Amino acid sequence: MSSALLIIDFQNAVFIDPPAHRADEVLARICELIARARKAGMPVVYVQHNEAGTAWEIDSDSWQFPAAIAPQAGDYVCAKQHSSAFQQTGFEAGLAERGITEIFVCGYASEFCLDSAIRQAAALGIKTNVIADAHTTRNRPHLDAATISNHHNWVWSEMGQISVIPAAQLPF
């Protein structure tokens, strides 16, 4: 089994006012996870959202990844325009080409792009692990960001085929 660290949509737009909940803390954790993955020889995979007319507009400053976690040569970067990394992207084939059968997921936004990709990956038979303290979102009209992320950690952990693991307990 070949594992990869998967970073979903943690782009500069995450820091635009209002910034995502714990954005700086999650950035620091993702930076640490990338270093750990690279040291372990684990591929680092990025999903990059783009959406015209928004902070996620392709080639804008806010569309870029923060410099501290920017992809390096040889990293797989998949562009997407929908919530799921798998929808109309070739992402599944890209993982298969690289022999990736297990993912450790972090990024933004817990209830949208992470949730969509996590559920679809698990449904496709990809061993799916969520890094419990390395994803975030923004406050929404009906719930605060911390509650949303905690709720999703609980839901994923109850699904039976998805593991939810704090960064300190990861096997790499």
Q: Could you give the CA distance from residue 27 to residue 84 in angstroms, rounded to a whole number? A: 21
Average pLDDT, the chain: 97
Q: Tens of pLDDT along 38-72?
A: 999 999 999 999 999 999 999 999 999 999 999 99
**Do residues 46 and 54 lie in contact, with contact meaning Cβ atoms separated by under 8 Å?**
no
**Do residues 15 and 43 lie in contact, with contact meaning Cβ atoms separated by under 8 Å?**
no
| pLDDT surpasses 90 at 1 | no
**Helix (H), strand (E) at residue 53:** none
Q: Could you give the CA distance from residue 127 to residue 22 in angstroms, rounded to a whole number? A: 27
* pTM flag (> 0.95): yes
pLDDT band at 11 (very low <50, low <70, confident <90, very high): very high
Supply the CATH number for residue 133's domain: 3.40.50.850
| pLDDT surpasses 90 at 18 | yes
pLDDT band at 21 (very low <50, low <70, confident <90, very high): very high
C-alpha torsion angle, residues 92, 6, 85, 112 (rounded to 10): 150
Per the structure, the complete domain to which residue 125 belongs is given by 2-169
Number of domains composing the chain = 1
Q: Tens of pLDDT along 92-116?
A: 999 999 999 999 999 999 999 999 9
Q: Could you give the CA distance from residue 93 to residue 86 in angstroms, rounded to a whole number? A: 9
